[in-house]
Structure 1
Amino acid sequence: MDIAMMSIAMHQGQAQQQASMAVMKKSMALAKGQTEVLEKLMDSADLQAPQASHPHLGGKLDVSV
């Protein structure tokens, strides 16, 4: 393999690695955004649950064996 072919192969590998890193960074940013939205949704569900139509029900559970 001559020097020109080695250089081309090396640069193609670098370009592929840079593209892979860019895709990974975008997917990580998207996952972080989805996590934040999910956390907000779960927090709002926790606040709404006690204010259901029967707030006095479901607070305790007695179990006997």
Structure 2
Amino acid sequence: MDISLISMVLSQGKVQQEASMSVMKMAIGNVEQQGGAIQELMSTSDATTATYHASQPHLGGSIVLKV
């Protein structure tokens, strides 16, 4: 076997692995940002709903069904 060929193949494998790890880290960063944004939206939604319900407590307390 050619030692230089083995060295080149191992080096390419290492570069590919490092690139994969870099892409994975970027994806994890994006997911964390999206999770934070979703949490912020949910907390804002809860506050908005609570404020709306406080201003109009008679809404949403019952459901009228007609058959």
TM-score (norm 1): 0.80
Q: Does 1:58 align with 2:60?
A: yes
Root-mean-square deviation (Å): 1.7
The aligned counterpart of 1:43 is 43
User: Unaligned stretches of 5+ in structure 2?
Assistant: none
User: Unaligned stretches of 5+ in structure 1?
Assistant: none
SS at match of 1:13: helix
Matches within 5 A, 1:1-65: 1-52=1-52, 54-59=56-61
TM-score (norm 2): 0.78
1:20-53: CA deviation from partner (whole Å, max 9, x where unpaired): 0000001101110110011000110011113337
Q: Percent identity?
A: 39
Relative to structure 1, the CA distance from residue 51 to residue 59 in structure 2 (aligned partners, 3 Å threshold; closer, same or farther) is farther
- Kindly tell me the number of residue pairs found equivalent between the two proteins: 61
Where relative contact order (Cα < 8 A, 6+ residues apart) is larger, the structure is: 2
